[in-house]
Amino acid sequence: MGTRDYLVRREGTNGDMRLLKERLLQLDADPQVAAIGLGGADLFLNAADRTYWIREMRPLAQLVRNKVLVDGSGLKGAVEADTIRYLHKEGGLELKGKRALVTSAVDRWGLAMALDAAGAQTSYGDLYYVLGIRSIIHNKRALRRAVRIAAPIAVKLPFSWIYPTVTDHSSRTVRHAWTDRLYYDYDIIAGDYKYIAKYMPPDLEGIWVITNTTTTADVDFLRSRGVGKLITTTPRLDGRSFGTNVMEALLVAAAGQTKALTAQQYLSLLAEFDLHPSIEDLQ
């Protein structure tokens, strides 16, 4: 593959769905646009061997007819599962026996299954982080059953009800004795950064965080909370790790494709471009 320059631009609509629809139509008609990555929202969820389309987001996908519209889900499953292999083989980090909490396995299925396969004692926080039910799932069979019961209902809810779109390093964390104990019970907290940050107590000495998009300010926040290692599933470029939606759109454009790639194609391109997960000691 020859050398080419790509312009990657991040835009926001401040939660305005009307403006988002207008912008998607403009981008779809722009001949200079190769691919569109939708951030801050999932079009669908891939979990428990099924695909669940989020009702509020499906009309957005139907607007885009001429370009590839991706939300990071295709890359997410492949790269996050491969991150666990990378931690062990390239980073020398042992996961076997570690106690790991995946904040939402339905959102990070590849990561959740890879942690379990690596020998981590893995629990799943979907009932609490997504639905607000104070209960943690501790085995895969119960997780699959819960996903197949709850996911068809959850995807019909407004997306803002099930995902904390405004949470970042500047947001006030939500503190409860129950959530504090929840974090203290684990060696690894893994999942979407907004979920992780929302309930994070101030004294998590030595804990590992495995997550996605983080800015320099987010890294400083995690360091101030005592986090020992920060592992981001996408590489850190110019001080921040980019979301899988950005990386997926970029890889689709680089491959010159008119549709989303397979998991193996994504991994092959990441290897070709020498893009790897980031492992950072914070203390």
In tens, the pLDDT along 124-137 reads 999 998 888 999 99
The percentage of the chain sitting over the pLDDT mark of 90, rounded to a whole number, equals 45
Average pLDDT taken over every residue of the chain: 87
CB 207 within 8 A of CB 188: yes
What single letter denotes the amino acid at residue 110?
Answer: G
**Euclidean distance between CA atoms 234 and 242, whole angstroms:** 6
Ramachandran class of 250: left when φ > 0, alpha when ψ lies in -120 to 50, beta otherwise: alpha
User: Is the predicted pLDDT of residue 240 greater than 80, yes or no?
Assistant: no
In this prediction, residue 162 carries a pLDDT of 67
N residues, the chain: 283
Alpha helices in the chain (DSSP H): 17-29, 58-63, 73-89, 109-117, 126-129, 140-154, 159-162, 177-184, 193-198, 216-224, 244-255, 263-272
**Residue 241 contacts residue 213 (beta carbons within 8 Å):** yes
Mean pLDDT check: name the lowest of 3-12, 80-89, 105-114, 251-260: 3-12
Residue 8 is predicted with a pLDDT of: 85
Q: Answer whether 99's CB lies under 8 Å from 121's CB.
A: yes
Nearest to 36 by CA among 79, 83, 88, 72: 72
**Of 115, 119, 117, 123, which is closest to residue 185 (Cα–Cα)?**
123
Instruction: Output 190 or 168, whichever has higher pLDDT.
Output: 190
Summarize the confidence of residues 52-73 as an average pLDDT. 88
Selected residue with higher pLDDT from 160 and 270: 270
Distance CA 148, CA 40 (A): 24
Task: Please tell me the distance from the alpha carbon of residue 201 to that of residue 205, in angstroms, as a whole number.
Answer: 10
More confident residue, 258 or 186: 186
The mean pLDDT of 106-115, rounded to a whole number, is 92
d(CA 110, CA 79): 8
d(CA 281, CA 283): 6
The whole-angstrom separation of Cα 148 and Cα 134 is 19
Cα–Cα dist 92/241, whole Å: 21
pLDDT tens string 22-50: 999 999 999 999 999 988 778 888 888 88
pLDDT score of 223 more than 90: yes
pLDDT for residue 229 is more than 70 = yes
Asked whether residue 16 carries a pLDDT value surpassing 70, the answer given is: yes
Alpha helices in 163-262 (DSSP H): 177-184, 193-198, 216-224, 244-255
Query: Which amino acid appears at position 208 of this protein?
Result: W
